[in-house]
Amino acid sequence: MKYGLIAHIKTQNIGDDIQCYAMQRFLPHLDYLIDREHLDSFYTETGEKVAALLGGWYIHRPLNWPPSPFLKLLPISFHLSISKKKGLLALTYYGADWFKKFPAIGCRDEGSVEFLKNYGIAAYLTGCFTLTLEPFPDVEHHGKIIAVDVPNEVIEFIKRKTKKDIFITSHNLTQIQFPQEVLKFVKEHDPKVIITTSHYPAQLDIPHENVLYPGNWSYRHTLVEGLLRFYQGASLVVTSRLHVALPCLALGTPILWILDSKRINAYRFSTYMPYVNHTTPEALLSRNYSFDFNKPEANPVGYEKFPKLIKAAVKTFIDSCENDISTPLVDFEIWLDEYQKNLRLKKIIQRLVLKPETETPLDEVNHTTLEALLSRNYSFDFNKPESNPVNYEKFPELIKATAKNLINSCENNISTPLVDFETWLDGYQKNLRLKKIIQRLVLKPETETPLPENPDIYNYDF
């Protein structure tokens, strides 16, 4: 079986790539790069299914959910965002029913577990894929303190507490500064391998358009490894980022997690509070929290249960894929027909919400009135009605000839392939979900939770 890596192709956060790096380590080989935000449009020309791990953060584009039938997926270390009600939109109708095809969904955090359970979806906590990382055996200990996306006042506070070198950086790819050690590692180790993508429409086959740093996935993969090695060699990493804290926890690098009071209680972060030294900027600056930056204390223990869960589940999945000789092919023509219907409905939803000025509003149609019709200057003798015009006879002849040709072709047909019912049903259920979304956007029934109308959720290319 072939394997794919689901990645956020146009990410602005290198933390997304760190999660992908961790997931790729479990794949026997990598054959496809799959766009996380366009999972419904992935296909293979041969009809074969591609195995992939459905982990990480979802989803900016909830109308592009559920995933394509060309994917054989293991949902594990999965996070569903409730930001701007994106998760609510993703889980409408078949969006939630699709999850119920699986025995249970492995989730990255307790909040996602509860969110899915509220929709009647079995779910359990597995932790994050980045916790499965292991220390590199040949990393030089440079001893610096690395500050990643930390407030300036915290950095100034650290400078007053230690004479160690402090390297300041970010996981935001518009601001990040890579140390020379990392760039040197990439130059020496990037294999420059091109990984295939396969999405419909074809423009998605150019996955790195508008990506904020260069290179194919092999470059990004190597860049992540260089950065992780740099983190491992530090004496301490201070950060506000989840995907700095958790990878460093797995690599054995001391961590001080700086979170403001709102984020410290957010469901994305609260799951991991017991396993990482953490505080708020206010507590640190007011000296209500004591921390030795010259001899940082070791990280708490207990997180080790999460990588064990992930490794066991992934091994079972990969073993089943390696021994799979019975998974049927997907009928591309049936899938494409249903996908194009799906695309039409998504564009209708987009127009209903965004109301673009460049297109005719969907609720405007040409019309007239009975009075306007009756006022026409039209003469007709109802006592001696004139005969009907002639020359209509050509129409029944055309119909008869066309119908005869069709029936003859059907009677002699022994080669028309059967319709792939499973592929059709998946496409039909996706279309039905979108039709119900349209109905709710238009009718706004009081008996159902209002759907999000924030334009950001709908304003993107499908």
Residue 50 burial (C-beta neighbours within 10 Å; 0-12, 13-18, 19+): buried
CA distance 119 to 122: 9
Q: Digits of tens for pLDDT over the chain (462 positions)?
A: 999 999 998 888 999 999 999 999 999 999 999 999 999 999 998 999 999 999 999 998 999 999 999 999 999 999 998 877 888 899 999 999 999 999 999 999 999 999 999 999 999 999 999 999 999 999 999 999 999 999 999 999 999 999 999 999 999 988 888 999 999 999 999 988 888 888 886 544 444 344 444 458 899 999 999 999 999 999 999 999 999 999 999 999 999 999 987 776 677 888 999 999 999 999 999 988 999 999 999 999 999 999 999 999 999 999 999 998 888 899 999 999 999 999 999 989 988 888 877 766 665 444 455 565 566 655 667 788 888 877 778 888 888 988 888 898 888 877 778 888 999 999 999 999 999 999 998 888 887 888 887 888 888 777
End-to-end Cα, the chain, rounded Å: 28
- The per-residue DSSP string of 295-337 comes to SPPPPPS-TTHHHHHHHHHHHHHHHHHHT---PPPP-HHHHHH
Upper half-sphere CA count for residue 438 (Cβ side, 13 Å):
18
Please tell me the distance from the alpha carbon of residue 142 to that of residue 186, in angstroms, as a whole number: 18
Region of residue 287 (phi > 0: left; psi between -120 and 50: alpha; otherwise: beta)? left
Q: Answer whether 113's CB lies under 8 Å from 107's CB.
A: yes
Is the Cβ–Cβ distance between 298 and 254 less than 8 Å? yes
Q: Which domains does the chain have, with CATH numbers?
A: 145-191+209-301 (3.40.50.450)
Nearest-angstrom CA–CA distance, 370 and 33: 59
Contact 221, 21 (CB under 8 A): yes
pLDDT at 458: 84
- Which string of b and e fits 338-373 if b means at least 16 CB within 10 Å? bbebbbebbebbbebbeeeeeeeeeeeeeeeeeeee
pTM for this predicted structure:
0.87
What is the DSSP code (8-state) at residue 195? Answer: P
| CA 142/CA 411 separation, integer angstroms | 79
By C-alpha distance, which of 63, 60, 73 is closest to 34? 73
pLDDT tens for residues 196-249? 888 886 544 444 344 444 458 899 999 999 999 999 999 999 999 999 999 999
CA distance 72 to 55: 13
What percentage of residues in the chain have a pLDDT greater than 70?
91
Q: What is the DSSP string of 333-395?
A: HHHHHHHHHHHHHHHHHHHHHH--TTS--TT------HHHHHTS-----SSSPPPPPS-TTHH
